[in-house]
Structure 1
């Protein structure tokens, strides 16, 4: 086990013109991360993902709870924890005026790497950064900056790497490139704790994950387990009377949910159930605008656990 956390909590108090306001950012989070796995924390913006990661990375102190990270007590041995991990924030921390090589070399020295020059060269080569290593940060593209940021977090060869929203703002090609780099980290034995609000990212990368909402964990498991828990298939209908349609179709479904103007019908076998659903709608005289048959997604899991879509909760897929 590389991370074992129990009942982590964090509350912030903000002060403004209308007085102070208390925000419970994290409300009793339990996490267990195995060695050598990519573990995801999936949820909308403001769900508590970054606060959880910052606590585990010793950047902020929990109000309560316990954790052992990389073999050390989070509260009693924070310096020992820091030596064992790498951390890449949402912003990345790449300076505009300094070259990638100089920044990575400085990070190596801060971490007391035995041979900073060699470690820098190795990580530059590992992330295909050698050709642009001496360019100032401001001349790099978004994807190049993210690779430099990950290199900064890995130059001291940590056993554990924290990635907080690593692909936010990247185009599809650069996202796919960084995904491949993250998979390579797992293959080399590095454990990765990844926060994201991208459904496809969590599904594609994570061995296991938790889904968080309003500072609490609402689901945990592998992506496959979580999707199977919801249902095998989901039929999404857009029609004129979703509430009446929901009542009419309920006998054929494991679950029926009305999501604004869409009706989601969860069934075990969508291909064989679909004709019966259409027959009932025709019998009831309910007008149908569109219909789609899909396998369940992590968004369906979030919807089942919280009553709303992750896409509509301040996150994009």
Structure 2
């Protein structure tokens, strides 16, 4: 299918060591559309980096299939590599070369002439606001600057698909937000991007669809809105009254309302838990009016990607 950039079926990677068998990826089936910014979200050790490694031909699958840009990652890895750009989790730029030299060498490896490689490198350095650092060596740069050079390097061959493995890990908030803006512009220009991350805000802010993985298994895959709607997570409505009214007197009535799963009172505040907030809110206003309580404020806290994620993966600490 021409509209499919990445297509996997029952993709697995198993490692056999002296301590036993570890299934890093356990039967992953995914489909990424062209022009999509697709997120792989999971805690540490979820299998994200192993999945990215298989899709970019660095790691051989144990079983299953994966096609990237229409080419099989096992049967035709060279075709896959010609179609992709990769930004790895850790800086692997040549630290003794300048930013411009790193890009030029990458372009020459990709088959560009010296003139074309320099032209493309200068174009990308300008795109990422790095033209003033073109002559600086990598070991003289900040983490954010080096990350931009790595992203520019991945784009030297104008790849069909860009793979980013934890691209903002360890960066300061300002640099992270600036990189998000760059990725949004690339997405708007039609670039297909597969992004692995463990940052909720990053996935929520950037991704068209999100696959949540843990222990090598796909737990859910959909748009953000659909993920939040697919799990039975409650919205919390907090009603604040103008006076220090005793909200306890309406608790019994509130708990009887259709759609309310629980309610609790604290001074002038009434907290109501529901799966259907839109219908419940109007009923709550009527109950308060009938009780003579003047409403001063309503706060609505809907399920977030974080609550969906924790609901699926649990809250225990990860190594």
- Taking structure 1 as the reference length, what is the TM-score of the superposition? 0.80
Please report how far the alpha carbon of residue 92 of structure 1 lies from its aligned counterpart in structure 2 after TM superposition. Answer: 2.9
Structure 2 match to 1:61: 60
Tell me the residue number matched to 2:276: 268
SS of 1:2's equivalent in the other structure is: strand
Closer/same/farther in 2, CA of residues 139 and 250 from structure 1, 3 Å limit: farther
Structure 1 residue 294: Cα displacement: 1.6
Across the aligned residues of Structure 1 and Structure 2, the Cα RMSD in angstroms comes to: 2.9
Alpha-carbon distance in structure 1 between the residues aligned to 2:11 and 2:93: 30
Q: Where in structure 2 are the equivalents of 1:138-149 lying within 5 Å?
A: 138-149=139-150
Q: Counterpart of 1:34?
A: 33
Q: Which segments of 5 or more consecutive residues in structure 2 lack a partner in the other structure? A: 239-254, 263-271, 289-298
Structure 1 residues 236 and 111 mapped into 2: Cα distance closer, same or farther (>3 Å)? farther
Give the Cα–Cα distance (whole angstroms) in 2 for the partners of residues 112 and 253 of structure 1: 63
Check conservation: 2:257, 2:283, Cα contact below 8 A: no
Q: Tell me what 1:300 maps to.
A: 307
The equivalent of 2:108 in structure 1 is: 109
Kindly indicate whether the alpha-carbon contact (under 8 Å) linking 1:230 and 1:296 is maintained by their aligned counterparts in 2.
no
User: How big is the shift at 1:209?
Assistant: 1.3
Q: Supply the distance in 1 between the matched residues of 2:149 and 2:34 (Cα, whole angstroms).
A: 24
Distance 1:10 1:149, change over 3 A: same
Aligned pairs for 1:87-106 (under 5 A) are 87-106=86-105
- Structure 1 residue aligned with 2:121: 120
Deviations 1:5-28 (A, max 9, x none): 11100011334xxxx332110000
In 2, Cα distance between equivalents of 1:216 and 1:185: 29
1:208-267 superposed Cα distances (whole Å, 9 cap, x missing partner): 111001101101101111112235753399xxxxxxxxxxx89976879xxxxxxx9553
Deviations 1:263-287 (A, max 9, x none): x9553218839979xx9xxxxxxxx
What number of residue pairs does the alignment pair up?
Answer: 278
Residues 277-288 of structure 1 mapped to structure 2, 5 A cutoff: none
Shift of residue 113 of structure 1?
A: 2.1
- Structure 2 distance, partners of 1:131, 1:146, is 15
Task: Mark the runs of 5 or more structure 1 residues left unpaired by the alignment.
Answer: 238-248, 257-263, 280-291
| Within-5 A mapping of 1:145-224 | 145-224=146-225
Q: CA deviation at 1:155?
A: 0.8
Partner Cα distance (2:93, 2:274) in 1: 45
Structure 1, 295-304 or 206-215: larger mean CA deviation = 295-304
Q: Deviations over 1:176-225 (max 9, x none)?
A: 10001111111222100000000010000000111001101101101111
Contact 2:84 2:160 in 1 (8 A): yes
Looking at structure 1, the residues matched to 7 and 44 of structure 2 have their Cα atoms a distance apart, in angstroms, of 24
Alignment of 1:72-91 (within 5 A): 72-91=71-90
- Kindly provide the CA deviation profile for residues 22-79 of structure 1, in whole angstroms up to 9, marking residues without a partner as x: 2110000011011111000001010000100110000011000111111212211100
265-274 vs 5-14, which moves further: 265-274
3-state SS in 1 of match to 2:30: strand
In 2, Cα distance between equivalents of 1:127 and 1:113: 21
**Whole-Å Cα distance in 1 between the matches of residues 236 and 46 of structure 2?**
28
Aligned-partner Cα distance in 2 for 1:273–1:139: 60
Larger radius of gyration: 2
Give the SS at the match of 2:46: coil
User: Aligned to 1:94, what secondary structure does the other structure show?
Assistant: coil
